[in-house]
Amino acid sequence: MSKIILAISLLAALLGCERSQPEKLQPQKITIAYTYQPQSTLVHIAVEKGYFVEEGLIVESLMHTYGKAALQSVTEGKADFATVAETPVMFSVLKGENIFVIANIEASTTNNAIVARKDAGISKPSDLIGKQVAYTPGTTSDFFLDSFLTASGLTRNDIKPISLKPEELQDAFVAKRIDAASTWNYPLTQIIQQLGKSGVIFYDRDIYTETFNIACQQDFVKQNPETVKRFLRALIKAEEFVAKNPAEAQSIMSAHTQIDKSLISKVWGAFNYRVLQDHTLLLTLEDETRWAMKNRLTDQTVMPNYMDYLHLDSLREVKPEAVKMGR
């Protein structure tokens, strides 16, 4: 009799455990437009380590060389999420596109710089006068170029600006079609390695903090609140992994992007990988908007309320301490 009672007790305990377990997440397909750049590391890690799968998300990847193109995939309805720096976000808002930034996933004060050829007579910032300087319009390289010139007592009228995509810069340097370029990593480090002793690089930690972000269409966020929270949970797991396992994270990035691990390791220290929302992005968006208006890069003349484009609620639910600003 006691054996029967024991068996019934064990069965009841097992059933109780089964009922207490959370319901299995219903799989949902999402499309992420992200980049080969180091700024997108958390997304690469979340894909490789299965963190999206753990959150019930089936990922289709759309790869891009830089964030402006990734954001365009979202605004054109080809992707649900994009990794993108704040400058394309700013231009998107000024064009009237209804997007949300749901989180910042990276920040850096040393990812943008001016790289130049010494054989073009450039050894200090003032030597840029009259030189052919490349940049990528509508990106952080565009804003950083003007910020650097201003800090150096120059204007864009003092140089010969040339519009190029980041993947075109190395060939342009080899052919000596440009004398300098405003850009970011990986092209930045690849170019200075290519130029060797004939190259010079100008940083300025004080004039600009780059942010890399996750952007979505506002309607998507409103219609898929649980999906957004699942997505953020996966990125937070990736953040924890990167902090504890930087060497393995670099190996994963190398395998995912086919970029040599030595290059990834060389630039790794420039980046701060974390999932949050703070005032850095807001202040930078406003600074860049003033810059865009002053230089007539937009028809808008009134500063948008960027709080209308920062979605804080999902991250606040998933990780309250990661939201360091009020609504």
Rounded distance between C-alpha atoms, residue 139 and residue 184, angstroms: 10
The reported pTM is: 0.89
Last residue of a domain, one of 202, 223, 248: 202
Structural domain total, the chain: 2
Are residues 141 and 103 both part of a single domain? no
Confidence of residue 11 (pLDDT cuts 50, 70, 90): very low
- Statement: residue 15 has pLDDT above 70: no
Domain span at residue 303 reads 28-109+209-322
Are residues 228 and 306 both part of a single domain? yes
What is the predicted pLDDT for the residue at 325? 85
Residue 17 falls inside a structural domain: no
Are residues 119 and 99 both part of a single domain? no
CATH label of the domain that carries residue 145: 3.40.190.10
Are residues 214 and 252 both part of a single domain? yes
- Statement: residue 8 has pLDDT above 70: no
**Mean model confidence pLDDT for the chain:** 92
Are residues 136 and 245 both part of a single domain? no
Residue 272 falls inside a structural domain: yes
Are residues 194 and 270 both part of a single domain? no
> Mean per-residue pLDDT for 244-256?
98
Largest CA-CA distance found in the chain, in angstroms, rounded: 98
Are residues 213 and 196 both part of a single domain? no
Are residues 95 and 132 both part of a single domain? no
- Statement: residue 6 has pLDDT above 80: no
- Statement: residue 7 has pLDDT above 50: no
Are residues 105 and 89 both part of a single domain? yes
Residue 3 falls inside a structural domain: no
Residue 175 falls inside a structural domain: yes
**Looking at 25-29, 41-45, 119-123, 221-225, which range is the least confident one?**
25-29
Are residues 176 and 43 both part of a single domain? no
What is the predicted pLDDT for the residue at 155? 96
pLDDT tens for 138-161 read: 999 999 999 999 999 999 999 999
Q: Measured on CA atoms in the order 52, 53, 58, 62, is the torsion positive or negative?
A: positive
Q: Return the C-alpha torsion angle 145, 146, 147, 149, nearest 10.
A: 90
What is the predicted pLDDT for the residue at 222? 98
Residue 158 falls inside a structural domain: yes
Q: Measured on CA atoms in the order 230, 235, 318, 216, is the torsion positive or negative?
A: negative
Residue 1 falls inside a structural domain: no
Residue 12 falls inside a structural domain: no
Contact 324, 279 (CB under 8 A): yes
What is the predicted pLDDT for the residue at 25? 73
Are residues 225 and 291 both part of a single domain? yes
Residue 2 falls inside a structural domain: no
Are residues 91 and 134 both part of a single domain? no
In degrees and rounded to multiples of 5, residue 134 shows phi and psi of -85, 155
- Statement: residue 263 has pLDDT above 70: yes
Last residue of a domain, one of 202, 221, 251: 202
Last residue of a domain, one of 182, 202, 222: 202
